[in-house]
Amino acid sequence: MSLQMLSNPGLLWFIAGLALLLTELFAPSLILMFFGFGAWIVTLLYLLFDIHLPAQLIVFAISSIVLLAFMRKKLKPVFFGYVSSRQNSGQNIDDYFGKEAVVLVRIEPGKPGKVEFNGVAWDAASEVILDVDTRVKIIDRIGLKLKVVPL
């Protein structure tokens, strides 16, 4: 590559856009991609209209921000999955506290078992022995383990 080719703004914008898109592959934030597309828009406009540097910078900023503002929300489910398809994370203890579950694997003090809650098998602990099919009430959640008592 000659020095004259490297001083071509169209080529530099194209390379910058490609670098931003490749960076997006390794650090998926769904932000750099739009700046890469903004750089490619500048490349296209430079090749068609030979716009000068101040106009190139303005086109880059506006096109990148507009793409980011209007397209990120629409494309996010494509790259990260639909939120509606994910199970409720249940970070709030109120989602569990006082709810009923059924013992799947016998629970003994100091020896966790399993309970079924909302169709999901959870590790569970109790201070009393609980046999299989016993209905229990959830009194706490510690990490991914539920603390239960008999009903």
The string of pLDDT tens digits covering residues 103-138 is: 999 999 999 999 999 888 999 999 999 999 999 999
Question: Which domain-ending residue is among 84, 114, 130?
Answer: 84
Residue 147 reports pLDDT greater than 50: yes
Residue 88 reports pLDDT greater than 70: no
Residue 91 reports pLDDT greater than 60: no
The pLDDT assigned to 119 comes to: 86
Answer yes or no: do 12 and 62 share one domain: yes
Answer yes or no: do 106 and 70 share one domain: no
In whole angstroms, give the CA distance from residue 84 to residue 113.
Answer: 30
> Mean pLDDT over residues 92-103, rounded?
84
Of 54, 44, 37, the closest CA to residue 10 belongs to 44
Task: Report yes or no on whether pTM surpasses 0.85.
Answer: no
Q: Are strands 100-105 and 113-117 parallel, antiparallel or unpaired?
A: antiparallel
Q: Which residues pair with 113 in a beta bridge?
A: 124
Q: What is the mean pLDDT of the chain?
A: 88
The answer to whether 139 and 97 are in contact (CB under 8 A) is yes
List all residues 6 or more positions away from 72 whose beta carbon is below 8 Å from its beta carbon.
Answer: 30, 31, 34
Q: Tell me which residue range forms the domain holding 118.
A: 93-150
**Structurally, how many domains does the chain consist of?**
2
In whole angstroms, give the CA distance from residue 21 to residue 84.
Answer: 28
pLDDT tens digits along 47-80: 999 999 999 999 999 999 999 999 988 887 777 6
Q: What is the CATH number of the domain that holds 109?
A: 2.40.50.140
